[in-house]
Copies of this chain bind each other. A is one copy, B any other.
Amino acid sequence: MKDFIEPIARLIGAFQKLPGVGQKTAQRYALKVINMSESEVKDFADSLLYAKNNVKYCSVCGNYTDRDPCEICGTRDRSVVCVVKDPKDVMAIERIRDYNGVYHVLHGVLSPMEGVGPNDIRLKELVARVGADNVKEVIVATNPDVEGEATAMYIARLLKPLGVKVSRIAQGISIGSDLEYADEVTLSKAIENRREL
């Protein structure tokens, strides 16, 4: 890294920690930062710290939030719970703008290969929630891949005894792809065509 003076080399190193950012891209970002005004760079640094310090997990649904419970849990129809793997998936479903229920973020899916069991994801919290709240339906919106399907089946078996309706988003989204990248129409259709498990 003797190609760069130390302050630039260090900044390039920091940018390389971002997903998909290699040496060349990090270098472009770093030079852009050098050319920003002092207040712009200060604002950039502040927004990093501000986000890290103010974004927490909602104690109810597990989604990112800056208050607790989160805005979605506080204002929406709590009788329908959509179960997703990641906060990213909440964002994806929120973009379609016609889902009015709440969420439950698992923070992972069952994966025997990677040693992720039922106690490693937020399943206990889901059962407790369904038992306590007046939940009528649980829509399982994990990714349509092997692990996502297995997790959906597991959740169905887990919740059926509680007398709640458990549904699965339709396989309108192409198999093997990632929920995060589905387009709004496909995702909307997938929720509409959910089938009971």
Chain A residues proximal to chain B, CB less than 8 Å = 3-8, 10-11, 13-14, 17-20, 25, 27-34, 36, 38, 40-55, 64-66, 70-71, 87-88, 91, 94-95
Asked if A43 and B19 make an inter-chain contact with CB atoms under 8 angstroms apart, the answer reads no
The CA-CA distance from A20 to B24 in the complex, in Å, is 13
On chain B, the residues within 8 Å of A19 by CB distance are: 28-29, 32
On chain B, the residues within 8 Å of A17 by CB distance are: 32, 36, 40, 44
**How far in angstroms is the closest Cβ of chain B from A99?**
13
- Of chain B, the residue at the smallest CB distance from A4 is B91
Q: How many copies does the complex hold?
A: 2
Asked if B10 and A87 make an inter-chain contact with CB atoms under 8 angstroms apart, the answer reads no
On chain B, the residues within 8 Å of A40 by CB distance are: 17
- Of chain B, the residue at the smallest CB distance from A28 is B19
On chain B, the residues within 8 Å of A45 by CB distance are: 45-46, 48-49
Asked if B51 and A44 make an inter-chain contact with CB atoms under 8 angstroms apart, the answer reads no
**How far in angstroms is the closest Cβ of chain B from A164?**
29
- Of chain B, the residue at the smallest CB distance from A30 is B51
Asked if B65 and A5 make an inter-chain contact with CB atoms under 8 angstroms apart, the answer reads yes
- Are A6 and B66 CB-contacts (below 8 A) given A29-B19, A34-B55? yes
Query: Can you identify 25 A-B contacts, CB atoms within 8 angstroms?
Result: A3-B91, A4-B91, A5-B66, A5-B70, A6-B66, A7-B47, A7-B51, A7-B55, A7-B66, A8-B51, A8-B64, A10-B50, A10-B51, A11-B47, A11-B50, A14-B47, A17-B32, A17-B44, A18-B32, A30-B51, A34-B52, A36-B52, A38-B52, A41-B52, A42-B52
